[in-house]
Copies of this chain bind each other. A is one copy, B any other.
Amino acid sequence: MVAQRGRRNGAGAAHKRTRPPGTPDADNAPTAEMPAVGENGADPEVRARAIPEAAVARLAVYLRVLSAMAEQGSTTVSSEELSSAAGVNSAKLRKDLSYLGSYGTRGVGYEVEVLVGQIERTLGLTRQHKVAVVGIGNLGHALANYGGFPGRGFPVEALFDIDPDLIGVPVGGLPVSHLDDIPRVCTERQISIGVIATPPAAAQSVCDRLVAGGVQCILNFAPVVLQVPEHVEVRKVDLAVELQILSFHVARRADNAEAAAGGVNGHVVDPAVMPS
């Protein structure tokens, strides 16, 4: 087969290590961290302009920073400026942008508008992605009221809940439908992204219905690991995990402070840290 990138070419089913037929992959749902970009079930021979997953995430950040700059009237930026505003280093930024093509001018920098356009195109933001929100509790409300989600392009076009008192009630201008109608409504309205904001116990069943409704991407706020068929992409936002990661860093820091106890070094150690 083709050159080096094809480590995955057998991807379809070939060497996936004896997989119990029920289990839908288990390799997905990558901790909201780093799913390999070539990971989905697509044909490998497509000339992947393979842009690393990590870079994709950063492009979205650059886009926001650039939009803000455009609003303030900047017309060009250097990699140095942009990178520091985005919180990365300039080499990384340049490499990321290079995946889009060559849109900079040496000795000068990048034209803000050109970059915005190219990033939008690459991220697929020139299409519309209709969103459904499931679970209209506190979080669901918050999401529904974003009303058209972050900078247009992601219109919320369906809301679902199981609570009879909520059915039919408009939230953010859109009436709430019942969970049972998820497949039908999603199909009818051509929903492409489903957002799960239900309690954990309901999440898997909601997910299944979304998938039945043809939804291909799911953003999961419920603290459960969803099982999905392999053509469905899941990202998860997990509060508990985030807090526990922070906790880990606090702990490590405390340990380090202890270890460095005698050593006088320029480290700001608040002596008030809670001694367990």
Question: A127 and B253: CB pair below 8 A?
Answer: no
Residues of B within 8 A of A259 (CB): 43, 46-47
Which residues of chain A from 18 to 51 have a CB within 8 Å of any chain B CB? 20, 23, 26-34, 37, 40-43, 46-47
Q: What's the tally of chain A residues with a CB closer than 8 Å to chain B?
A: 110
Beyond known contacts A33-B34, A43-B259, A46-B255: 10 more, CB 8 A cutoff: A27-B87, A27-B88, A31-B88, A43-B260, A85-B225, A128-B274, A153-B247, A192-B267, A192-B274, A235-B246
Is A250 among interface residues, defined by CB-CB distance under 8 A? yes
Is A248 among interface residues, defined by CB-CB distance under 8 A? yes
- Chain B nearest Cβ from A225, distance in angstroms: 4
Chain A contact residues, CB within 8 Å of chain B: 17, 20, 23, 26-34, 37, 40-43, 46-47, 53-54, 56-61, 63-65, 83-89, 122-131, 137-139, 141-143, 145-146, 149-154, 190, 192-193, 214, 216-217, 219, 223, 225-227, 231, 233, 235, 237-257, 259-260, 263, 265-274, 276
A54 and B245 alpha carbons, distance in the complex (Å): 10
A41 and B153 alpha carbons, distance in the complex (Å): 40
